[in-house]
Structure formats: C-alpha cells, structure tokens
A = this chain, B = another copy of it.
Amino acid sequence: MQLSIEPNNGIPIYEQLVRQIKYAVAEGILVPGQVIPSVRDMAKQLTLNPNTVQRAYFQLQNEEVLQSLRGRGVAVCEGAKKQCVADRQQILAERLAAVLDEAIRGGLDEDRLRSMFEKALKNAIRTGEKQS
C-alpha cells in the first residue's frame, strides 16, 4: 500500500488521504476486514502529523469505509468496496468536468482539448506503469 501525498496541491492533505484510501479499497488493494496501518505508523510513513491522519480516518469512519477497533487498529468495513468504486467514479468525473469547463470557457476548442487529453493520458499511463 503506497500512497503519494503532495502538499501545497490545493487539495488538503487529509482529503488526499481520504481519496487514496477509497481508491485502494475500490481497487481491491485493501479488502474488507483488513487492518490498515495505525495512525502513528501512517503518519511516520508519509512524514505527516498524526492528527492529520486521524482526521482522514475519522472522515472515512463517518462514511462507513473504515471502522475503528479501539486498541487494535482501524479496519476496512464489510460493504465498503461497492461504495468506494462509486465514490471514485464521482470524484474523478467531477474533477474532470471542472477542468473541461474551465478550458471551454477559456476558449479552447473541442479538437484541441481532445488532443491535449490523448497526450496527457498516454503520459499518465506511462508514468503509472513505471511506478508499478
């Protein structure tokens, strides 16, 4: 389980954590019942403050993705995978829509956008494969 956090990205760190854990559950990298790294471990791995991690875990508990086992750790909820797949789809669709809206309003035409998309997509796939 490897998460990539980028500070000063506009997106709060705890929010990035929430998303990436959801993605991991959606992908099956984290399976229901599995105990994930503790607040302190995760904070140490990512060189974050434990409070920031705790905030992400707390939000994921509210959304019934994680459940806390006091004294033992935090585990993935049973029915979480379906919900996480849906969440991932919605989050990314919204982000994509926001960029395209800005581009269209900024005056870029459809063809130019399509070309940019293909180029960026290939690049993303390439770098994504390098990591794995």
Contact = CB atoms under 8 A, between A and B. Distances in A.
A121 B125 contact: no
Interface of A: 4, 10-11, 19-20, 23, 26-27, 88, 92-93, 95-97, 99-108, 110, 113-114, 116-117, 119-121, 123-125, 127-128, 131
Nearest to A108: B92
Contacts of A101: 124, 127-128
Dominant secondary structure of chain A at its interface with chain B: helix
A120 B106 contact: no
30 contacts: A4-B105, A19-B102, A19-B106, A23-B106, A26-B106, A27-B106, A27-B107, A88-B106, A88-B107, A92-B102, A92-B103, A92-B108, A92-B116, A93-B119, A93-B120, A95-B99, A95-B102, A96-B103, A97-B120, A97-B124, A99-B99, A100-B120, A100-B124, A101-B128, A103-B124, A104-B124, A104-B128, A105-B131, A110-B121, A110-B125
A92 to B, nearest CB: 5
Given A26-B106, A110-B125, 13 more contacts: A20-B106, A27-B106, A88-B108, A92-B102, A92-B106, A93-B116, A96-B116, A97-B120, A100-B117, A100-B120, A100-B123, A101-B124, A117-B117
